[in-house]
Chains A and B, each alone.
Chain A
Amino acid sequence: MKRVLSLAAIEIFVWLVLLLVTFSISKGAIEISFGSATLPERVATQTARLLTSGLLILLWLVAWKKVADLYLCRMLSRHAASA
C-alpha cells in the first residue's frame, strides 16, 4: 500500500508540474508574436512558440526524472542500510 501511495504521489507531482508548465505556456509562450500577416511571420511566431513550449516541457521532464531518481536512491539506500 505504501509503495502505491509513493508512486501515486509522484504521478500527482508530475501532473501538477504539467499544469504549471501549461499555465506558463499559456501566459508566456503563446503570447509570443512576430505578426501573422505573411507566411514567414506566421512561421516565425509558431516556431518561437513551439521552441519556448518545448523548453518548458523539457523542464517538466527534468523535474519528473529528478523526483523518480530521488525516490529510487532513497529506497535503495534504505534497503542497503537494513541489509
Chain B
Amino acid sequence: MLDAYSAVSLGITFVVAFAATFLATPTVAKKMSSLGITGVDIHKTAKNKVPEMCGLAIIFGLVIGTFAEYLMMPVAWRQALAFIGTVLIAGAIGVVDDLHPLGARTKPLLTALACVPILVLGTYVPYAEVPLYGPVRLTIVYPILVPIAIAVTSNSVNMMDVMNGSMPGTVSIVAFTVTMILLWAGGTRTAILTGGLLGATLAFYYFNRFPSRVFGGDTGSLSVGAAIGALAILGRIEAVAIVALIPQIMNAFYGLSSVRGLRERREILQRPTRLLESGLLQASAEKGAPVTLARLILVAGPLGEKEVVRIMMVLTAVSSLLAALTYSITVFVK
C-alpha cells in the first residue's frame, strides 16, 4: 500500500525530473546546433536539420530526479546509485556512438557493461518472478542474465527511436505502466525512480513529438532503455517488463532476424520504408528489406509519420495492458 510520504516522494521525483528535462532540453538543443551536431529529419520532404544528442537533457533530468528521490529516501541509496550509474554508463556509450558510430557488435557489448553498478552494489535479487510459477532461484545464472537484460532493453529502445516522438512517447507509456505495477507489487522505492523516468521522458516527448525540434540520439535512447532494464531488475518485474516492451522487442527482433544478425543501420542498403512525394510513408515491397514495426504498420497502406507513431503508442498501450495482466496472473498463482 502506498503511504502518504511515498506518494509525495513519487510526485516530487516526477515533477523534478520533468522540470529539469523540460528546462534543459532547449539549452542542450541550442548548444548542439552551435556545435554543428545535427541530424536530418529523413521522414520529411524538406529534410530539415534538427539538433542531435539532446538525450543529454533526459540524463540530466534523471540525475536530478534520482537525487531528489535520494534526499527523500536516503535509505534506498544503493538502489538510486545503481540506477543512475547504469543510466550514466549507457548514456556515455550513447555519446560515443553519436560522435563516432560504434560497430553493430560493439554497441550491444558495451551497453551490457552498463549493468556493472547493479552487480557491484548487489542490488538484484537472484530469484526471477516467472508468470504462472512464481519466484525461481537463479543464484548463479542471474548475474549473467543482468548484462543481457540491459543490452536487450537499451538496444531495443534505441532501435525504436526511428520517428518523431516514437521513443519518448512509447517509453512514457511503459514507464507509467511499470510505476503502477511496482506500486501494486509494493516496490515503492523502485516505483519512485520509475516516476522520475516518466517525468523525464514526458518532458522530452514535448520537444521530440511531431514535428521534432530535437533528436535524443543514441545518448537518449540507450540511457532510457538501460533505465527500464535497471528498473525491471531492481523492482523484480523482469517478465512484466518484457511484456510491456513487446513492441520495442518486436521491432528489434524482426529487424535483426530479417537482416540475419547484428548489422549497423548504415550497412543495410535497403530501407524498410520510403518517403513519397506527398509526404506519406510507404512500406518497402522489396523482399530483402528489413522487417521493422514501422514497415509492418505501413504494409496495409501509406500513412503520415504522426499516424505511424500514434499506432506505435497504441500498440505499446496494448502491451502495457498485457503486462498488467501478466502481473495479476503472477499474483493470482502465488
Contacts and interface: CB of A to CB of B under 8 A. Distances in A.
Interface of A: 2-4, 6-8, 10-12, 14-15, 18-19, 22-23, 25-26, 30, 42-43, 46-47, 49-50, 61, 64-65, 68-69, 71-72, 75-76, 79-80
A11 B132 contact: no
A25 to B, nearest CB: 6
Interface in B137-158: 138-141
Contacts of B299: 71-72, 75-76, 79
A-B pairs with lowest CB-CB distance, top 3 = A26-B133, A3-B300, A75-B299
Nearest to B319: A11
Nearest to A75: B299
B132 A22 contact: yes
Contact of B315 (A8, A61, A75, A80): A8
Given A11-B247, A11-B318, 20 more contacts: A7-B311, A8-B314, A11-B319, A12-B322, A15-B322, A18-B242, A23-B133, A26-B130, A42-B139, A42-B140, A46-B138, A46-B141, A49-B141, A50-B141, A61-B253, A61-B257, A68-B296, A72-B296, A75-B299, A76-B285
Q: Which applies to chain B's interface (DSSP): helix, strand, loop or mixed? A: helix
B253 A64 contact: yes
B102 to A, nearest CB: 25
Nearest to B312: A7
B2 interface: no
Contacts of A76: 283, 285, 299
Contact of B243 (A15, A68, A71): A15
B285 A25 contact: no
Bin the interface of chain B by size: 35 or more
Contacts of B136: 26, 30
Contacts of B319: 11, 15
B130 A15 contact: no
B182 interface: no
B250 A15 contact: no
Given A25-B133, A64-B253, A79 B318 contact: no
Contacts of B291: 68-69, 72
Interface string B280-316: 0001010000010001110111000000000100110
A22 to B, nearest CB: 5
Contacts of A8: 314-315, 318
A64 B104 CA distance: 23
B239 interface: yes
Contacts of B131: 18-19, 22
Interface in B217-260: 239, 242-243, 246-247, 250, 253-254, 257
B296 A43 contact: no
Nearest to A36: B137
Contacts of B297: 3, 7
Contacts of B242: 18
A13 B61 CA distance: 37
B132 A26 contact: yes
